Amino acid sequence: MGYGNEAFMTRPQVLYAARRGAALKADAPDHALVEGGGSADLVFLTGNPLTDLAVRETPAAVISAVQFIGQDELLALREGAALYAQSLPKG
């Protein structure tokens, strides 16, 4: 998967677009903020996304809504989502 051409976007800009930029585009300005008192979901990566954006594709674990989701469960969720996507009508 491509993440943007470094000729016009730096890796930090790509990460911003994927996080904060997506929240703004979705008209959710209170999401993806890093500030005190906010809630947070955590994504545990096996590498540094500033040097290798591909590490975002296979996180080691996620904490979301106070629930720990390990890598095996993440893979199962991904497979389930792919099967669901294949069942949708094309077009």
Angle value at C-alpha 28, between 58 and 33, nearest 5 degrees: 65
Instruction: With 0.85 as the threshold, say if the pTM is over it.
Output: no
- Dihedral over Cα of 9, 85, 20, 53: its sign: negative
Report DSSP letters for 53-87, one per residue: GGGGGS-SEEEETTEEEEHHHHHHHHHHHHHHHHH
Given this model, what pLDDT does residue 1 score? 45
- Three-class SS state of 42: strand
Ramachandran quadrant class, 40 (left: phi over 0; alpha: psi -120 to 50; beta: rest): beta
What does pLDDT average to in each consecutive run of 10 residues of the chain (91 residues)? 61 78 75 67 87 88 85 90 87 69
